[in-house]
Every structure is written in C-alpha cells, then in structure tokens.
Amino acid sequence: MLTLYNTLSRKKEPFRPLDAGNVRIYVCGPTVYDFAHIGNARPVIVFDVLYRLLRHHYGPKHVTYVRNITDVDDKINARAAEEYPKLPLNEAIRLVTEKTEKQFHEDMRALGALPPTTEPRATEHIAEMKAMIETLVKRGCAYVAEGHVLFDVASMPDYGKLSGRSLDEMIAGARVEVAPFKKDPTDFVLWKPSKPGEPSWPSPCGIAEPGRPGWHIECSAMAAAHLGETFDIHGGGIDLVFPHHENEIAQSRCANATPIMARVWMHNGFLQVEGEKMAKSLGNFVTVHQLLTGWQGYAWPGEALRFNMLRTHYRQPLDWTLVGLDTAHKTLWEWYDDLEGKPPAGGVPDAVLDALSDDLNTPKAITELHKLHSAGHWGTLRAALDFLGFSCDRAKIVRTASAEGQAQLRLNAETVGERIEARNAARKAKNFKEADRIRDELEAMGITLKDAKDPKTGEPVTTWEVAR
C-alpha cells in the first residue's frame, strides 16, 4: 500500500486514486529564462521517483504525469531584453525560452528523470486561461479593474487552507502587491495589460487593451486541460505552497465548482548549499549544468547528483555539500564495479518498494540497497537500481576533473613533488621532525604518501596518491 504525506491535511494518508485506470499527477515545471539550479532539480528527481513508483503500482499505461513549461512570465521578458537588447522583444523571448527549455531537458535527462507524459506550454493554453477567467468573473469570484482581472479572495470562504495562514499573515508575510485598483491587497492577478512590444493576446471580459495571463492561472488552466477538473496529486517545491498553489486551488475550485482541485498536495523541502541559503548574491548559486561540467574541480556524473539527492527524505531540508556528493559518487562507483556483468534478477525487492511506498522514504530504500550490496545479492540490487533510474554502468559515471580541477591537480603535482624532495632531504639529514611535518602537511591536503625502497638500489622511493 502506498501512503503519502498530504500538505492539505498535514498527515500521511493511504493513497487511493480517483481512477486506478488513470492516475493523474501535476507538477509545476520551470519558468524558462535561466539554467536550472540544483534546487529546481529536486522536485524533478523527487516526483520522478513517485512517477516510477506509481507506474509500478498501477502499470505504466495507467499513470499520466503532467509537468508544465512556463514560457510567459515577467522574468522571461526582463531576461530577453537584457540578453538581446537589439532584437524586438518577442523575438528575443523566443530565443531565451527555446535555449532554456533545451538546456532544461538535457540537464534533467542527465539526472535520469523520465520525460513526463505531457509537457504543456503556457503560450499554447491562452484560450483555456481566458475561458477560465471569464467563468470566474461570471461566478462572482473575480472582477475587472483598470485593464486587469483580479481574483476576489473574499469570495472564497476557505481560502488559505493549504498554507494554513490567516489573511493577515498572508498580507504580512508575502510580498503582496498593493495596488489602488485592488479591492483587497490579497486579491491576485489573473490577467494584466501588456505594454506595447511585450507579449500580448486579446484580453477576456471585454477589456479593450491586449494583455497576458498571471502565473497562477497558467497552471490551473493546463492542469484542467490535461488532467481534468479534479485529479490525484499536485506537487512542487515547498516555496510554492503560498501564494502559487493556494491561488491555483482558489482559481480551479471556484471556476470548476469543485470541492477540491487535487486530492493530495506534495511538497519537497528547501535546499541549501554547504549550510547556507543558495543565492546569487552569496556566490554559492549552483546550476545543474555547472555540476555536470565543473563544480569544485570535477565534472560530476548526473547519476551521482541523483543519488545524492535521494539520500535525504524529500520533505526534509537538503544540504548540498561536496562531501555528500563525493560520498554518493563513491558508493555508486563501488556498487557498479561489483555489479559488472551481473544482470538484474528477481524484480525489485519488497523491502525497497515498501520503503518507497511509505511516503517516498528514499533514505530507507538506500539503506536496503546497502544491505543487498553487503549480502552480495547482485541481481536484486541491480533490479532495484534499474527501477530507481540508475544505469549500473561504470563507464557512465566516470568523474572527470574539470578544466579548473585539472589546473589544480597539475599545481598539486608540482607542489607535491617539491615537498617529497624536501622531505627525503630531511630524512637523509635525520631531521625526522621536519620530515614528519611535511608528511602531515600533505596529509592535510588530502595526499597520502607511500614509502618504499627501490629493490635494485635500496634508495627510498616515495609515491603519492590523492586520498578519496
């Protein structure tokens, strides 16, 4: 049996799909204006594991996984104008979104994530958004003001249920945009006017000037178009609970007159880097592309990123560290070596499935993998790794030094050579204190010395290696 933690009820619940013949899940996808950072990769990996598990429980043909692409957004407009100042804005936007979407797909493929069933684009669903907005106005849940359409939060008595916040807290805690034309500061934008040159479509609700949709309505419209008015699971990062998901629920439930939008709401925890909040201003912003091509001296294989991510339970905050990533890589490296030439056998072991079925307990599942490895149960270990999206092919997880890492290694080789010579000179002069000091110094750099004697000459020979 599968149990999942539901943000809406704040407890773990047995999962029962609305229709076992078509289990439906929606996850908020990227806004395509920049490289995906490692925090963006977390929901992709987490919900990929859920997708695989649902396919296992209900059959691959009976799961529909929708992850949207937000290709109309103010951040995209700003980036396009900045990157291609000489091009007409719409042309620049196309260049930015196409390039970013391609990069996103490449990165997520490298992380071993299966493509979703459908990846709808916001710009392909403007008609559905407009229809939903018209309905909301007709039902008295939204109003037109100065070329905008706004959702009337007061029209929904149980608004705020997902985040569990009172209206006062919402106003205080979020960057609620105060505008003179809003009836209430918490009312949010469904549609807004576009300036000349900005992406625009003919507006709904009799508004004369052209405009564009707000972000929240995009997901409501795309989810309804591809999954229906109510569906099973809606997922995303915890930062989306308020206001994005709260507003998706408000729009969908009020437009469709349904008591729920999705039955289960799942949110992955925050991600920080080396114990600090990740921010461009702090200089610790890490993109997936960077990790794959050069981070801390190495180009890391995508499978190591995936494994490192799964070592922490999805609802816990995750600290992305070099030590953690290195440990993840080392584990896979060892396992893949042992698994060479050993085919999967016996199917995915129950202990692994049980751990995953308990609210995606991936750390527990990994403990089970370690047990299989220790016991030498190669066939089942292989089957479990296949299921979790790992290739078991050592050639695919070679960790190479990045350009910066190679320069560092060359530098080390020179330094190490000089230090070894100095140490041997000290030993010859019987200055053992100095010899030991140099050895300790190198040890601190992660370099282990091995002393031996040349069998022919009897001279001391020292070799070194970088400790893993």
Closest CB to Zn ion among residues 66, 113: 66
CB of 398 to Zn ion, least distance (A): 37
28 is a contact residue toward Zn ion (CB under 5 A): yes
CB of 441 to Zn ion, least distance (A): 53
> Across-strand partners of 188?
151
Catalogue the long-range contacts made by 123-127 (C-beta closer than 8 Å, 24 or more residues apart). Answer: 123/71, 123/72, 123/199, 125/218, 125/221, 125/222, 125/225, 126/201, 126/213
Q: What is the DSSP string of 32-85?
A: TTSPPBHHHHHHHHHHHHHHHHHHHHH-GGGEEEEE-BB---HHHHHHHHHH-T
Closest CB to Zn ion among residues 244, 394: 244
Stretch of 27-35, 73-81, 154-162, 445-453 lying at the interface with Zn ion (CB under 5 A) = 27-35
Q: 19 vs 214, 320, 435, CA distance in Å?
A: 31, 38, 73
Nearest to 117 by CA among 33, 23, 6: 23
Nearest to 391 by CA among 314, 306, 463: 306
CB of 69 to Zn ion, least distance (A): 11
Stretch of 28-36, 115-123, 227-235, 391-399 lying at the interface with Zn ion (CB under 5 A) = 28-36
221 is a contact residue toward Zn ion (CB under 5 A): no
25 is a contact residue toward Zn ion (CB under 5 A): no
Q: 408 vs 251, 412, 465, CA distance in Å?
A: 54, 6, 15
CB of 219 to Zn ion, least distance (A): 3
CB of 26 to Zn ion, least distance (A): 8
Closest CB to Zn ion among residues 28, 365: 28
27 is a contact residue toward Zn ion (CB under 5 A): no
Q: 377 vs 73, 330, 346, 437, CA distance in Å?
A: 50, 19, 10, 45
CB of 446 to Zn ion, least distance (A): 44
Judged by CB under 5 A, how many residues of this single chain contact Zn ion?
Answer: 2
State the DSSP code for 245. I
Token reading at 379: 């066939």
219 is a contact residue toward Zn ion (CB under 5 A): yes
CB of 177 to Zn ion, least distance (A): 18
Closest CB to Zn ion among residues 28, 385: 28
| Site residues (vs Zn ion, CB under 5 A) | 28, 219
